Amino acid sequence: MDQKRVLLIIGGGIAAYKAPELVRQLKAQGLATRCLLTAAAEQFVSPLSLASVSGDKVYENLFDLTDEAEMGHIQLSRDADMILVAPATADLIAKMAQGLANDLASTALLATDKPVMIAPAMNVRMWEHAATQRNLAQLAEDGIGIIGPDEGDMACGEFGLGRMSEPAEIAQAAKAMLAQTPARDTPLTAAKPLAGRKILVTAGPTYEPIDPVRYIANRSSGKQGYALAEALAALGANVHLVSGPTALNDPKNVTTKRVETARQMLDACTACLPVDAAIMAAAVADWRPAEAQEAKIKKTKSGLDDLKLVENPDILATLSGHASQRPQLVVGFAAETNDIENYAREKLARKKCDWIVANDVSQNSGIAGGVMGGDDNQVHILSATQTLQWETMSKTAVAAKLAAHIADYFAATKEHE
């Protein structure tokens, strides 16, 4: 089999100094690497050092007469099996999202028909900015792989999300993406790793009516589930989203069914079967009033009568235990406030699902504004054989990474069929 080839585009951030080590790690994964430097990146790493570790010419200038006589920017993107952008600065991410092409890097990116992965790196405030998050959401929708960023100390003296993922982790992710690509010269549109897979996603809270005015609910915004639905669709899946009440717009390229109560959500989920995977991100109310009143309950001097509650149907357990149409992969979510991993592990066994995505939704989670309703998340992924703990990142980035993890699961399953 031909050696897979990576075009490494190095953006102009301080993390560019890690580029030579990234090239070494890519080579350790058996990947040939050709480097493309932006003008700003040359301030942090030299073309000579990159040429030495890659064993190939380093490309820098869109208007190099020799290269452009051969349409160099086109050939660069065609010769590679994938393009990796690391570090992906806020500027490069914005150019990619808007389709700009005013230098060699952005032109090669716009000209490619191969898989693309980015490793963002920037100041925490730049990462959190609404414009950056919009651009990342657009890239996820376009099928761009996203790894990181990580949380930690930054060169600017601040602490938070924005550090580029470590070179070894990026190289492993690049190899995993290439493993999902059918063959050299296969267009990206035909190389969606989840193409042909039908996936059910639930999101948001449920509202359990007490009377026509009041209801029992929780603080879920639906942001994580909606982001996941979009990320799965970007990888080619036929996604059906069953959503409780939210203020969010329907995700693009996703079939969305809106419901209100847990019983309605269960009915919508079972009507969607069969599916290849069920990702249960909704925060379903555990209980509901035994009887919803037809008229508004009035306040009286004697106070409110006891409110009798009954247990709602368990949607996750129902799908995990379905006798004839159990999805191949069932993923539950666990919103906990303490002892996260132990409670999640217990839930994994009790619900008989395949994975649990657990997070800390307490006020002590360390996430600004809290997880519920906020834009960031920090999750643990538990299965019967392993526990993964991801750094704090945006919900969009969590969704992209989890969607890639799901794609890896199906790719591995297919290899063993």
Is residue 307 within a helix (H) or strand (E), and if so which, with residue range? Answer: none
Say if residues 170 and 140 touch (Cβ distance below 8 Å): no
Residue 410 has a CB neighbour count (10 Å cut-off) of: 21
No. of H helices and E strands in the chain?
14, 22
State residue 285 phi and psi, 5-degree precision. Answer: -60, 135
Say if residues 378 and 360 touch (Cβ distance below 8 Å): yes
- Distances 321 to 178, 318, 352, 377 between C-alpha atoms, Å: 34, 5, 7, 29
Of residues 322, 235, 317, 326, the one with CA closest to residue 275:
326
- Distances 18 to 8, 168, 319 between C-alpha atoms, Å: 12, 11, 45
180-201: burial string, b at 16+ Cβ within 10 Å, e else: bbeeeeeebeebbbbeebbbbb
Contact residues for 43 (Cβ-Cβ < 8 A; gap 6+): 12
Catalytic residue among 35, 156, 269, 272: 156
Contact residues for 372 (Cβ-Cβ < 8 A; gap 6+): 218, 219, 220, 221, 283, 335, 361
- Helix axis angle for 104-111 and 90-98, nearest 10°, is 40
Instruction: Report residue 273 as tokens.
Output: 């079967």
Cα-to-chain-centroid distance, residue 167: 19
Of residues 248, 254, 192, the one with CA closest to residue 229:
254
Question: What distance in Å separates the CA atoms of residue 231 and residue 226, rounded to the nearest whole number?
Answer: 9
Q: Catalytic annotation on 156?
A: yes
> Which residues are part of the catalytic machinery?
156
